[in-house]
Amino acid sequence: CAFGGQVSSVDFYVLGVLQSIQAYGAQSPRQWLRTGASVTLTAIGKYEGGGLRNITQEVTWTSRDPDIAIATNEDGKRSRIVGIDGGQARVFAADPVTGILSNDAPVIVLGDLVSLEILGTIDPTVIPLDALRYFSVRGVFEHGTLNLGIVGDEYTLESGDPAVLEVLGSFVRGVSAGI
């Protein structure tokens, strides 16, 4: 490129032929699904000569376990996977031009909520007067457990007797003696 006596250049990398696809699934607990919820996956294409490129929206996604999770393949959200029922689904990407298939990416669907567990940092059954104690909530689902606070789920702690125990978000404070 030249302009006004100044010359500049840039190097371009030309991708070769697609060699393989790596699919990345919902591996962290933040990406685990409840029934009806969705997550998006990622597909990275590896090309001849070593180049890598995100091809998530160019591939077709398929679940090997459609009773657990389905791939919607919507325009603009091709990698959207929706949880149908509890379990672990195997989802893969396919290049429609070459037919190259990716690895199976795991998608964990927790299933229905069975119960909640309240977890404290210290013996949760004893709270001194004016002491603050932190509590978190763990959901026990048909196919696993999940600390609800790490995924942004909303839950509310409530006191059966606010004159004895005051709730302040995820903290509680002993107000007066009692149960």
Instruction: List pLDDT tens digits, range 138-157.
Output: 888 888 887 776 555 567 77
Check pLDDT > 70 for residue 176: yes
Q: What digits encode the pLDDT tens for the residues 32-74?
A: 788 888 999 999 999 998 899 999 999 999 999 999 999 999 9
| Residue 124: predicted pLDDT | 64
Are 40 and 81 spatial neighbours (Cβ–Cβ below 8 Å)?
Answer: yes
Q: Is the predicted pLDDT of residue 99 greater than 70, yes or no?
A: yes
Nearby residues of 13 by Cβ (< 8 Å), 6 or more positions away: 51
Q: Indicate the pLDDT class of residue 134, thresholds 50, 70 and 90.
A: confident
Per-residue pLDDT, 28: 63
CB 68 within 8 A of CB 108: no
Q: What is the predicted pLDDT for the residue at 177? A: 87
Amino acid in position 113: L
Closest CA to 79 of 97, 93, 66, 95: 93
What's the mean pLDDT in 166-176?
Answer: 86
**Which position has the higher pLDDT, 48 or 126?**
48
Report the pLDDT averaged over residues 4-12: 79
